[in-house]
Amino acid sequence: MKAKNTSSVKNIVLLGHTGSGKTSLVETMLYESGTIRRRGSVKDHNTVSDFHPIEVEKLKSVYPSVTHFDWRGTKVNLLDTPGSSDFWGRVPASLFIADSALFVIDSEKGVEVGTEAFWRMAERANLPSFFVVNKLDSSRSDFDAAVDAAKEHFGRGVVVVQFPYSEGDDFHAIIDVLKMRMYEFPENGGKPDKLPIPKSMQARAELYHNELVETIAENDESLLDLYFENGQLGEYEMQSGLHDSMLKREIFPLFCTVADRNMGSGRIMGFMGNVVPGPVDKPLKLSDGGERSISQDHSPSMFVFRSESEAHVGELSYFKVTGGEIHSGLDLIRQGDGDHVRIGSIFVPQGKLRTEVPGLLAGDIGVAVKLKGVHAGATLTSPSDPFECAKIHYPNPTNRVAIETEREGEEDKLSQALSQIQLEDPSVRVEHSQELQQTLLHGMGEEHLRVIQHQMKERFGLDIVSTKPAIPYRETIQKRVEAHYKHKKQSGGAGQFAEVYLSIEPWYEGVPDRDDLNVRNVEEIDLEWGGKLVFQNCIVGGVIDNRFMPAILKGVMEKMQSGPMSGCRAMDIRVSVVDGSMHSVDSNEAAFKTASLMAFKQGFLEASPKLLEPIYNIEITLPGDYTGDVMSDLSTRRGQILGMDSDGTLQKIRALVPLSELDRYTTTLKSLTQGSATYSQEFHEYVAVPFDIQKKVMEETLDNSFM
């Protein structure tokens, strides 16, 4: 299906904690609109949006999917996203190209950690949002508690548009306070009867109706004047006010549904078509910080928000048309490098199915095949009207694992597979660490990493062995020492001779200059692994020729890359070359490099060396019932609690924890909180490790050196 114009397109992302019923709601909407003839279910493994084998196996969304339906002339594109924290890294791209967000709340569980996390994402994206409380037929459904939690978490802008006549086994009707009527459903769901609101519910309906009207009027001066004049607002004025207030994120309407039984979806679809903001209301964010409207009157342009590869098809590029009309055979320019890209076949996605179309208008979503060199995040524009969309920001990975192939000789194949996976999932980070001599795979959780390894086997035929990743410790010193080394070698031909005297001391920001040294030249080197090396040439009288200084620095740097104490990299040191000697024939760069390396090594080991470990700042969001257990566990991990904040029924714990203690932490956290907590992590600093850990690391280094 192709939209008639940009005004008749809506792109809506569905967000919610895992198990809230997003995929079931998508399925019901597709069925209710007549797009599909038979309604599938997650339990029966036959939904349109969860079609990957791994999703069928796990009974939950792992990948975002795009579906669409027509509702009375409006084309609605739905972006169904994963709710599990292990796959949140795939969500930002859908948020970036959506015009509005629909949050699905489980009526039994209320606002869960995932809902709150997605809310923060939508807030940062300034995305108009609305809610649906699902599963109202559950025996433990509590609509009022869910509404109270939503208002507590997301503010008084959350306004009830619908409430259930009854809940649990007796659920059969929804009362709509915008339309001021009751929708009563057949036992098996479907098209409801439109009935007057029963007298027993009239007072409650009027209370919600007045709250809705007053909230709309408060956010629009013209409507407020109309409200004061007439004492009420008509349905058209209310819809217009809701649209404008949603766009400004002042109002967040709340609806009801039982998605599994097709109860309530039609009214929500009507609201999507008539009220919810679309692409004409949401300008593009540009890389230069500006904005640009989405219009079919602009030159043709498109933004690729997702890439994936499919067997027998090749590279698929999911895109949003950001201007004009995109059609097959069109030539565009890829922003960033200026390469020309010709558009081939264009398709409209419906889960795993794709229908070829001649073109798509601004605001719509499509799939293009085999766009050479085009990956997620690319902006393609007309040569005459260039611009570049802002970058999509993905969350930092929280888990890492070291991987290698089970069979030798497959290293190139592994590298190619990892590159492809990174293109498809930018939340994955691959690190080929020379320091640790490991290939590290970073992901959002252990399940995320397992899915990637499953892809390795199924798609690329690679059997992967995973091991515990090493810790990138650092070395430094605590006191000043003077070091000397004379390198002298004679082996029949030209000899080698170099002698250096080094002063080695700790460096820190603001360290005072030394009055006892005649410093001729200073090099401050920001080390690629963090920290600094300050290298000072203090030679007087020409005892060492200036041309040998780079070789002396090279020897020091080489040893810092493989620290003298444990083989870990050294940092934050000031080295001063204070004296030495050379030979007119036998001195050369190699000799001075060796002499400085040995002098630095010996001096370092005498300067009270200490081992540093990486400390991470972590933030854990969890229900309050589990805070005691989580904080106790953090103390066993040498964690330092920085503070705890309340956010409605949820708690946020902030702590500093050594990286060595975060191995498999997501699994422990899920176990402690029954899967209801999430956490993020960010590097903070390097600090000294306790003596017993330093001793253990040095012993392991010594053992490995003899293996």
pLDDT tens column, 479-495: 999 999 999 987 666 78
Does residue 164 sit within a domain? Answer: yes
pLDDT tens column, 46-98: 899 888 888 877 878 888 999 999 999 999 999 999 988 889 899 999 999 99
CA distance 615 to 662: 10
CA distance 263 to 283: 34
State which of 428, 448, 470 marks the end of a domain.
470
Contact between residue 313 and residue 295 where contact means Cβ atoms under 8 Å apart: no
pLDDT attached to residue 199: 95
CA distance 366 to 359: 9
Does residue 293 sit within a domain? Answer: no
What 3-state class would DSSP assign to 260?
A: helix
């459904």: which residue's tokens?
A: 141
- How many residues would you count in the chain? 707
Does residue 295 sit within a domain? Answer: no
HSE toward the beta carbon, residue 177, CA cutoff 13 A: 25
pLDDT attached to residue 567: 86
Select from 116, 267, 135 the least CA-distant residue to 190.
Answer: 267
Name the pLDDT band for 522 (thresholds 50, 70, 90): very high
pLDDT tens column, 386-439: 999 999 999 889 999 999 999 988 989 999 999 999 988 999 999 998 888 899
Which residues partner with 230 through β-bridges?
Answer: none
DSSP string, 611-657: EEEEEEEEEEEEEGGGHHHHHHHHHHTT-EEEEEEEETTEEEEEEEE
State which of 442, 470, 498 marks the end of a domain.
470
Say if residue 378's pLDDT is above 70.
yes
CA distance 328 to 368: 9
For residue 177, the one-letter residue type is: V
Contact between residue 232 and residue 217 where contact means Cβ atoms under 8 Å apart: no
Say if residue 703's pLDDT is above 60.
no
CA distance 669 to 704: 32
Whether 466 and 499 map to the same domain: the answer is no
Residue 30's CATH number = 3.40.50.300
Whether 589 and 619 map to the same domain: the answer is no
- Nearest 5°: the CA angle 167, 128, 645 is 75
Return phi, psi of residue 70, to 5°: -105, 130
Whether 32 and 46 map to the same domain: the answer is yes
Q: What would the two tokens of residue 490 be? A: 């004679």
Q: What would the two tokens of residue 269 be? A: 């679809």
Residue 595's CATH number = 3.30.230.10
Contact between residue 455 and residue 462 where contact means Cβ atoms under 8 Å apart: no
- Helix axis angle for 235-247 and 221-230, nearest 10°, is 150
Whether 452 and 483 map to the same domain: the answer is no
Contact between residue 613 and residue 658 where contact means Cβ atoms under 8 Å apart: yes
Contact between residue 319 and residue 296 where contact means Cβ atoms under 8 Å apart: no
HSE toward the beta carbon, residue 43, CA cutoff 13 A: 2
Looking at residue 178, the DSSP 8-state letter turns out to be T
- In terms of Cβ atoms closer than 10 Å to its own Cβ (0-12, 13-18, 19+), residue 40 is buried
pLDDT tens column, 457-486: 988 999 999 999 999 999 999 999 999 999
Q: What percent of the chain has pLDDT over 70?
A: 96
Whether 428 and 557 map to the same domain: the answer is no
SS3 labels along 538-577: CCCCCCCCHHHHHHHHHHHHHHHHCCCCCCCEECCEEEEE
Does residue 351 sit within a domain? Answer: no
Q: What percent of the chain has pLDDT over 90?
A: 73
Whether 531 and 624 map to the same domain: the answer is no
H helix count then E strand count, the chain: 16, 38
pLDDT attached to residue 310: 81
Contact between residue 174 and residue 183 where contact means Cβ atoms under 8 Å apart: yes
Whether 230 and 105 map to the same domain: the answer is yes
Contact between residue 64 and residue 80 where contact means Cβ atoms under 8 Å apart: yes
Does residue 147 sit within a domain? Answer: yes
Whether 486 and 430 map to the same domain: the answer is no
- Helix axis angle for 113-124 and 143-154, nearest 10°, is 40
Domain that holds residue 451: 400-470
Does residue 291 sit within a domain? Answer: no
pLDDT attached to residue 146: 96
Residue 444's CATH number = 3.30.70.870
pLDDT tens column, 579-591: 999 998 889 999 9
Contact between residue 327 and residue 310 where contact means Cβ atoms under 8 Å apart: no
Identify the H or E element spanning 672.
Answer: helix 665-673
Q: What would the two tokens of residue 252 be? A: 């967040």
Does residue 392 sit within a domain? Answer: no
pTM confidence score: 0.86
Residue 635's CATH number = 3.30.70.240
Whether 28 and 100 map to the same domain: the answer is yes
Select from 364, 269, 346, 268 the least CA-distant residue to 8.
Answer: 364
Using left for φ > 0, alpha for ψ between -120 and 50, and beta otherwise, residue 284 falls in: beta
Select from 53, 46, 76, 80 the least CA-distant residue to 64.
Answer: 80
- How far apart are the two ends of the chain, measured CA to CA in Å? 65
Whether 41 and 55 map to the same domain: the answer is yes
Q: How far is CA 456 from the centre of its chain?
A: 22
Whether 421 and 534 map to the same domain: the answer is no
Number of domains in the chain: 5
Q: What would the two tokens of residue 117 be? A: 């996390």
State which of 420, 442, 470 marks the end of a domain.
470
Whether 113 and 147 map to the same domain: the answer is yes
pLDDT attached to residue 694: 87
pLDDT tens column, 189-229: 899 999 999 999 999 999 998 888 888 777 666 655 554 55
Least confident segment among 83-87, 91-95, 141-145, 347-351: 83-87
Name the pLDDT band for 699 (thresholds 50, 70, 90): confident
Return phi, psi of residue 656, to 5°: -105, 125
Does residue 635 sit within a domain? Answer: yes
Say if residue 512's pLDDT is above 90.
yes
